[in-house]
Each structure stands twice: as structure tokens, then as C-alpha cells.
């Protein structure tokens, strides 16, 4: 019964349906951009995964604040799950950006402010996960990891406003509250970009949900092992019996 309910979970069904519609919009419905050609379609993947990577670090920082305040393990699990998904989205953000930059700018990497701050965000994710992987388990690891998550959130607004603050090769903001009238997309391109961003947002939420459940199951297994070990009586090792053979 549990497997049936899990299979009928509306979130993955809705996410898959929305992703299918988005792919149809990207590759069939929306017209090809005049200046850049077909390579411009990377926009509909690059911007949503970039949004997902920044959304992830905000969830990490918010969950870290709640853990430091409430000392509840669920907030720590949510922070870890968001970081694990966020680092994947961050890697896709950098990869898709470089693939897009090569035919448009004739280079893979320019080193400008927006790209550099995005790379820093990826490294913050990596540092957060590596710290949790190698630091001894316990409340101290969770507290220090929460501090790293809070530091990572400071970088996100810089990424968002970097293209407007330091005008370089990267285009200015095309979506969000800081968008200028001159940098907005056309109606068709804007509709597809919004649909793609919504689809990847639901995909992000679903992946975080899956990772959270796995993390909770792992914690439950650890607790069961600890409880089982505490109840198991300590017994001396079985003595080794050696056979003495007489002289023939």
C-alpha cells in the first residue's frame, strides 16, 4: 500500500508533466532567436538551474538558522538535502554557461564578476558537503556546518546583481525585480523562460524531498544501530582451543 501511495505522489507526476511541456515549448514552440541562433535555447536551461543553485543556498541558510535556534534534526537534514541538490544545479549552471559562452563569446570562461561569484557559490557547496563528510559526527559538526551555510547565502545577492554592478560580457538581469525595461525578453521567449524556471523549481523541490527522506532513513538506521549496540551485553571472546598432539 505504501508503494502504491508513493507511486501516486502528485509532486513527481506534476513535475514530469510540467517538464515535458517545457521541453516541447523549448524545442518546438518558441521561435529561434535571430542573433544567436539555436544555441540561445540554452538560456531556458541555464537560467533555471542558476536560479535553483541560488534557491538551494537560501534554503541551506534558512534551515541552518532554524537548526541553531530550535536544535531540531529535521532542519539539519533539510539543509544537507538542499546542499546536495544545490551543488548539482550549481555544476549544471557553470557547465551550461560555458557551453553557451563558447559560440557566443569565443571563449569558455571570461573570469568576469558574475561568473566568478557563481563559481564561488559552487565551491561553498563543495566546502559545506566536504566538511560534513570528514568532520566527526555530532552537534559540533552541525553547528559549524550551519555557519558555513549562512556565509554562503551572502554570496547569492552578489551573483544576482553582478552583471548590473560590473558591466562586462555577461548580459544584464533579464528576469526578477531588478530587471530593466531594455533588458526584458520578448513575449514568446519570456513565457518559455518562466515555464522552464517553474519546471526546474518543482524538480528542485522534488529532489530535495527525496534526499531528505533518504537522509532521515539513514539517521534512523544509525539510531537503531546505537540502540541495538547499547542493549547487546559485552561478552568475553571465545577462548582459542589448541590441540596438543602427542609424539607418535
pLDDT digits (tens, 9 = 90+) for 80-104: 999 999 999 999 999 998 998 888 8
If we measure between CA atoms, which residue out of 60, 33, 57, 55 comes closest to residue 44? 33
User: Cell 528542485 sits at which residue?
Assistant: 204
pLDDT for 153 equals 82
CA dist 149 and 141 (Å) reads 12
CA dist 193 and 197 (Å) reads 6
37 bridge partner residues: 33
In sequence order, what are the residues at sequence separation of 6 or more whose Cβ sits closer than 8 angstroms to the Cβ of residue 148?
124, 127, 128, 131
DSSP 8-state secondary structure symbol assigned to residue 71: -
If we measure between CA atoms, which residue out of 37, 60, 162 comes closest to residue 111? 162
Please state the pTM of the whole predicted model.
0.82
pLDDT for 203 equals 96
CA dist 163 and 97 (Å) reads 14
User: Cell 571563449 sits at which residue?
Assistant: 107
CA dist 80 and 4 (Å) reads 28
Q: Which three cell numbers stand for residue 141?
A: 559538526
pLDDT for 41 equals 92
Those residues of the chain that have pLDDT short of 70 are: 1-8, 160-186, 230-248
pLDDT for 5 equals 45
Residues 37, 183, 101, 94, Cα dihedral to 10°: -120
pLDDT for 129 equals 94
CA dist 59 and 71 (Å) reads 16
Evaluate whether 178 touches 160 at the Cβ level (below 8 Å): yes
CA dist 169 and 114 (Å) reads 10
Length of the chain: 248
Amino acid at each position: 500500500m505504501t508503494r502504491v501511495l508513493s507511486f501516486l505522489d502528485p509532486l513527481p507526476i506534476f513535475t514530469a508533466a510540467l517538464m515535458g511541456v517545457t521541453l516541447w515549448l523549448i524545442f518546438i514552440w518558441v521561435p529561434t532567436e535571430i542573433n544567436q541562433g539555436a544555441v540561445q535555447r540554452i538560456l531556458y536551461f541555464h537560467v533555471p538551474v542558476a536560479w535553483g543553485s541560488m534557491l538551494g543556498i537560501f534554503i541551506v541558510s534558512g534551515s541552518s538558522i532554524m537548526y541553531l535556534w530550535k536544535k531540531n534534526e529535521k532542519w539539519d537534514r533539510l539543509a544537507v538535502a538542499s546542499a546536495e541538490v544545490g551543488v548539482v544545479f550549481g555544476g549544471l549552471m557553470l557547465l551550461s554557461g560555458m557551453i553557451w559562452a563558447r559560440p557566443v563569446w569565443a571563449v569558455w570562461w571570461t573570469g568576469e564578476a558574475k561568473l566568478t561569484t557563481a563559481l564561488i557559490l559552487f565551491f561553498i557547496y563543495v566546502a559545506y558537503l566536504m566538511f560534513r563528510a570528514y568532520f566527526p559526527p555530532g552537534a559540533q559538526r552541525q553547528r559549524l556546518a550551519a555557519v558555513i551555510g549562512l556565509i554562503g547565502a551572502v554570496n547569492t545577492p552578489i551573483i544576482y546583481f553582478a552583471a548590473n554592478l560590473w558591466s562586462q560580457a555577461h548580459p544584464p538581469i533579464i528576469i526578477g525585480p531588478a530587471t530593466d525595461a531594455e533588458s526584458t525578453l520578448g513575449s514568446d521567449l519570456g513565457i518559455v523562460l518562466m515555464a522552464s524556471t517553474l519546471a526546474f523549481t518543482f524538480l528542485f523541490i522534488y529532489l530535495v524531498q527525496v534526499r531528505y527522506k533518504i537522509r532521515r532513513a539513514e539517521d534512523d538506521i544509525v539510531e537503531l544501530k546505537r540502540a541495538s549496540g547499547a542493549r547487546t551485553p559485552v561478552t568475553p571472546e571465545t577462548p582459542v582451543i589448541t590441540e596438543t598432539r602427542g609424539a607418535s
